[in-house]
């Protein structure tokens, strides 16, 4: 699992994950992922387009980070999950906590105040 971080022109934090979000993947990126989600009034997009699998270990990483972001006045959204990953996310009901978007423009519009 690899994590790439950048900021969009509007200040949104973009976290791109690449690989498998299982126990090994989470252990590789968890510290940096949580650090990139930290702060007051932050807006975070998590690009899942290159995540080919998410396990029950990966779900709490996303949910707990989204709850922390929201508690601190920000918002998080997921972007472009692969079909198999999106199916797992929908089964878990994660979209009730973290919206899922399939294009950057709708995701940006949804999380900015």
Asked if the model's pLDDT at residue 20 lies above 90, the reply is: yes
Q: Which sequence spans correspond to the domains of the chain? A: 2-111
Reported as a pLDDT band with limits 50, 70 and 90, residue 34 is very high
φ/ψ of residue 24, rounded to 5: -70, -45
* Percent over 90 (pLDDT), the chain: 96
CA distance 110 to 99: 9
Q: What is the mean pLDDT of residues 2-13?
A: 95
Q: What per-residue confidence (pLDDT) applies to 113? A: 79
Decide if pLDDT at 77 tops 90.
yes
Cα gap 49→79, rounded to integer Å: 7
- Mean per-residue pLDDT over the chain, rounded: 96
Say which CATH topology domain 2-111 has. Transcription Regulator spoIIAA (3.30.750)
What mean pLDDT is predicted for residues 3-11? 95
Angle at 55 between CA 82 and CA 81, to 5 degrees: 15
The pLDDT value given to residue 72: 97
**Among candidate residues 38, 108, 100, the one with its CA nearest the CA of residue 73:** 38
């Amino acid at each position: 699992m690899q994590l790439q971080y950048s900021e969009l022109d509007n200040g949104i934090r973009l976290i791109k994950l690449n690989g498998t979000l299982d126990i090994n993947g989470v252990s590789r990126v968890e510290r940096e992922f949580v650090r990139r989600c930290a702060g007051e009034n932050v807006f975070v997009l998590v690009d899942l387009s290159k995540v080919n699998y998410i396990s029950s270990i990966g779900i709490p990483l996303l949910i707990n980070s989204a709850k922390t972001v929201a508690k601190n006045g920000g918002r998080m959204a997921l972007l472009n999950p692969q079909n198999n990953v999106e199916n797992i996310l929908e089964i878990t009901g994660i979209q009730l906590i973290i919206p899922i978007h399939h294009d950057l423009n709708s995701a940006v519009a949804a999380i900015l105040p």
